[in-house]
Amino acid sequence: MLRIDRRAFNKLSVLALAGSRIPAFAQATTTAAQSPVGYAAIGLGAISDIFMRACANSKTAKITALVTGHPETKGKKYAAMYGIPETSIYTYETFDRIADDKAVDAVYVGLPNSMHREFTVRAARAGKHVLCEKPMAISSGECESMISACRNSNLLLMCAYRVHYDPTHLEAKRIVDSGALGQLQAFEGAFGFNAQPHQWRLTKQYGGGGSLMDVGIYPLNETRWLTNEEPSEFTAVAATRDHDSGRFAEVEQTLAWTMKFPSGIVASLSSTYGEDMPGFLRIHGDKGSLEITSAYSYQGVHLANLGGPTHIDLTTQREEPFQFKLEAEHFANCIRTGAEVRTPGEEGLHDLLAIESIYKAAGNPIA
């Protein structure tokens, strides 16, 4: 069993931002005196596509620039969809010119994991705030350099943890914090999907690790958030059954791990790239239990009690991409008003410290 020390986890605010839906691809305008916060989307893959659709539904966040390796195809396509001038289409090589783009207040980093650090640091040098997808980076050392780069430039850094903004997860947090479940005892959770071959996430170069980095991070992060503690002891087992497809030549197929927190709470979690594993999290206290199903989906998150005096049957009613809209608008509000970021860079750092400890316990160290 691996034992480590961990800095205390600071409790975060859990108030959700409300929002209304408008037709996709029509950038909303605001009647308020303040203009929307302008985001440059870095990397125009699937996750950035969702984020851009979210901003198109917002009055306080707007896509104002694009960064892509395919400026003539993807760049012009999305520029036309969102009314972005072609002069605000940047490549990875010309990205640093964004410093002179007054329409860009912040960047959204939707790149492969191993590219997060580089473009966060470059954005900070260009004077832009950073909203970075999870995992924040591929090592805790990279996370620390990202935090320092933004802090030294007096810029905000936020990690895109959707769970912290979804109203159903927020209700679970409220119930836990209220003491209705009594003293927390244990967590069970999992998340995974059947990864198709030839994806960047199946390579060490771009993914940094296997399913833990991509999907296992969801229950890992949520248990840390709900306990208000940092895990201090870890056990882990990595396994691969598919030796024929070549998908798992560089990363594990499945990972199962346990974490013990200083208070004595334990969590048993798992993740996989080998099968469609619907996300769930069970929260057990000595006075009752909760279960979150479809826990890490973009919509339809469901919360129910499994026992005890607290009765709840709640499903998130809003549709994709509303979670991304809540993230974009929260960060926009922080930029405009100086409000505290709920999921700052330190949150991403804590997850990477835990991930490194889990891989070490599994005998597959990544750092």
- Statement: residue 310 has pLDDT above 50: yes
| pLDDT band at 309; cut points 50, 70, 90 | confident
Q: Are residues 95 and 238 in the same domain?
A: no
Q: Which residues fall within 8 angstroms of residue 93, CB to CB, at 6 or more apart?
A: none
Q: Are residues 105 and 168 in the same domain?
A: no
> What CATH number is associated with residue 30?
3.40.50.720
Tell me the pLDDT tens digit for each residue of 261-278. Answer: 999 999 999 999 999 998
- Statement: residue 8 has pLDDT above 70: no
Structurally, the chain folds into a number of domains equal to 2
Q: Are residues 339 and 355 in the same domain?
A: no
> What CATH number is associated with residue 196?
3.30.360.10
- Statement: residue 286 has pLDDT above 70: yes
- Statement: residue 20 has pLDDT above 50: no
Is the Cβ–Cβ distance between 98 and 86 less than 8 Å?
no
Q: Are residues 70 and 138 in the same domain?
A: yes
| pLDDT band at 308; cut points 50, 70, 90 | confident
Q: Are residues 111 and 246 in the same domain?
A: no
Query: Which regions of 196-320 does DSSP assign to beta strands (E)?
Result: 233-239, 254-260, 266-272, 274-285, 288-293, 302-307, 313-315
- Statement: residue 16 has pLDDT above 60: no
Paired tokens of 312? 């709840």
Residue 366 lies in a domain: no
Q: Are residues 150 and 199 in the same domain?
A: no
Q: Which residues fall within 8 angstroms of residue 77, CB to CB, at 6 or more apart?
A: none
pLDDT score, position 34 = 78
Q: Are residues 24 and 154 in the same domain?
A: yes
Mean pLDDT, rounded, for 151-179: 98
- Statement: residue 221 has pLDDT above 70: yes
pLDDT score, position 366 = 84
Task: Indicate the average pLDDT of the chain.
Answer: 91
- Statement: residue 18 has pLDDT above 90: no
Q: Higher model confidence: residue 331 or residue 22?
A: 331
Cα torsion 156, 49, 40, 42 to 10°: value is 80
- Statement: residue 26 has pLDDT above 70: no
| Side-by-side strand order, sheet with 184-194 | 2-3, 233-239, 254-260, 266-272, 184-194, 274-285, 288-293, 302-307, 313-315
Q: Which domain holds residue 193?
A: 164-318+351-361
Residue 2 lies in a domain: no
pLDDT score, position 78 = 98
Q: Are residues 156 and 245 in the same domain?
A: no
| pLDDT band at 196; cut points 50, 70, 90 | very high
Residue 129 lies in a domain: yes
Q: Are residues 232 and 287 in the same domain?
A: yes
Q: Are residues 148 and 209 in the same domain?
A: no
pLDDT score, position 21 = 29
Q: Are residues 293 and 187 in the same domain?
A: yes
Q: Are residues 266 and 142 in the same domain?
A: no
Mean pLDDT, rounded, for 217-244: 97
Residue 174 lies in a domain: yes
Mean pLDDT, rounded, for 353-360: 98
Tell me the pLDDT tens digit for each residue of 34-87. Answer: 799 999 999 999 999 999 999 999 999 999 999 999 999 999 999 999 999 999
CA atoms of 326 and 347, how far apart (whole Å): 18
Tell me the pLDDT tens digit for each residue of 99-156. Answer: 999 999 999 999 999 999 999 999 999 999 999 999 999 999 999 999 999 999 999 9
Query: Percentage of the chain with pLDDT > 90?
Result: 88
As annotated, the active-site residues are 134, 218
- Statement: residue 183 has pLDDT above 90: yes
Q: Higher model confidence: residue 116 or residue 32?
A: 116
Residue length of the chain:
367
Residue 253 lies in a domain: yes
Residue 367 lies in a domain: no
Residue 5 lies in a domain: no
